[in-house]
Chain A
Amino acid sequence: QSVLTQPPSVSGAPGQRVTISCTGSSSNIGAGYDVCWYQQLPGTAPKLLIYGNSNRPSGIPDRFSGSKSDTSASLAITGLQAEDEADYYCQSYDSSLSVVVFGGGTKLTVL
């Protein structure tokens, strides 16, 4: 059971918009700790997608955006493309556990 809760799967057609939620608690996201998002394509290492809740590293398309509110965060992907099919993970820090925590991951399927 992950400290950060994500839906196991989401799907969307090419060109559509999807969102992935990441629900935490008062000891992690709700405590003000920032959220990062990572994309993991099949058989590859995770790749940083969003940091500081809503910032994109250079090279990440603006189709990807992040937000945070209270004890939750969200990743939005607009203009879905086949190449976006991957697993997505949120990550934060938990002050009660004193560890970095990841969500369980969400598998995005592009229909």
Chain B
Amino acid sequence: EVQLVESGGDLVQPGGSLRLSCAASGFTFSAFSMNWVRQAPGKGLEWVSYISGASSTIYYAGSVKGRFTISRDNAKNSLFLQMNSLTAEDTAVYYCARERYSSGSFMFDSWGQGTLVTVSS
């Protein structure tokens, strides 16, 4: 069974940093691209970042580019998101999501339970 478990969410002051982790199990982690998607309180979903299986390709949403860094450790089946220069607009539940391809289409087929990041003084 595919499992994704996020951790690292916390209350942090504006301008601070936080590192999120996502522990994966139940599948060959290195074979899948992974994403971070966030959801502000009471709001919709927002894609944040993508990393390919071998970490050779990385993308960011414009709202986090230059402040967030996605990485992975395939030996430890783990995905990370280093978040710097945090602002109140970064307050959200952060989900890690596995990306899968089928019939020429990509999808986020498995999601973690999410971890809450609150940026406030």
- Partner-B contacts on A (CB < 8 A): 2, 34, 36, 38, 44-48, 51-53, 55, 57, 89, 91, 97-105
Chain A contacts for B102, CB-based, 8 A: 51-52, 55
Q: Provide the bound-state CA to CA distance between A101 and B46, in Å.
A: 7
- B22-38 vs A, CB cutoff 8 Å, 1 = contact: the mask equals 00000000000001010
Give A44 to B45 CA distance when docked, in angstroms: 13
- Hey, which chain B residues are within 8 Å of A104, CB to CB? 44
> Among A44, A52, A98, which residue has the most Cβ atoms of chain B within 10 A?
A52
Interface range, B side: 20 to 34
A107–chain B nearest beta-carbon distance, Å: 11
CB neighbours (8 Å) of A53 from chain B are 105
Q: Which segment, of B8-16, B84-92, B107-115, faces chain A?
A: B107-115
B35 touches A100 (CB 8 A): yes
Would you call B44 and A102 a contact (CB within 8 A)? Answer: yes
CB-nearest residue of chain A to B107: A51
Are B108 and A48 closer than 8 Å at their CB atoms? yes
Q: Enumerate chain B residues within 8 angstroms of A46, measured Cβ to Cβ.
A: 37, 45, 95, 108, 111
State in angstroms the CA–CA spacing of A104 and B114 once bound together.
19
Known: A45-B111, A98-B59, A99-B62. A89 touches B105 (CB 8 A): no
Inter-chain contact A103/B44, CB cutoff 8 Å: yes
Contacts A44-B113, A55-B102 supplied; 20 other A-B pairs, CB < 8 Å: A36-B107, A38-B45, A45-B111, A46-B37, A46-B45, A48-B107, A48-B108, A48-B110, A52-B102, A52-B103, A52-B104, A52-B105, A89-B45, A91-B108, A99-B47, A99-B59, A100-B47, A101-B47, A103-B44, A104-B44
